Amino acid sequence: MSIRLEIGKPTIHQRALKAFADFAILIALKNQAMTAYGINNYFIRKIGIAASPSTIYSDLVSMERKGWIECVRNQNGRSYALTPKGREIASNISSINNEIINILKTLFLVY
């Protein structure tokens, strides 16, 4: 899926990604450590849009301070991996996925 971007008008997908970037990053890191570039590629593959580098980096710094992720240095530079706390949060996100979908359906139900 490819999304056409209009200058100055963020799409609903872009706004959702920005609003839920922390959670999207946790899900991206659930199975493996990734670089910021790898996380952005994950977003492109999964939802068809790229996040701005400033969004990704600021969220990574914030998440590292919260103890959700840790920086792992390797031959590719800086990769980020979930800490036990981050893994727990990512698991909780996955387990409440259906609840989130039902809430959104209820909020946006058109009569």
pLDDT in tens, 85-103: 999 998 888 777 777 778 8
DSSP code string of 40-88: HHHHHHHHS-PPPHHHHHHHHHHHHHHTSEEEEEETTEEEEEE-HHHHH
Query: With the C-alpha atoms ordered 7, 9, 12, 15, is the resulting torsion angle positive or negative?
Result: positive
The Cα 76–Cα 83 span in angstroms is 20
**Tell me, what CATH number does 29's domain have?**
1.10.10.10
Chain position carrying tokens 């992720």:
69
pLDDT computed for residue 7 by the predictor: 52
- In-domain check, residue 2: no
> Is 9 strand, coil or helix?
strand
Please check whether residue 5 lies inside any domain of the structure: no
- pLDDT level of residue 5 (50, 70, 90 thresholds): very low
The residue ranking higher by pLDDT, 77 or 34, is 34
Range of the domain at 35: 12-107
User: Cβ(22)–Cβ(63) under 8 Å?
Assistant: yes
| pTM over the 0.85 mark | no
- How many domains is the chain partitioned into structurally? 1
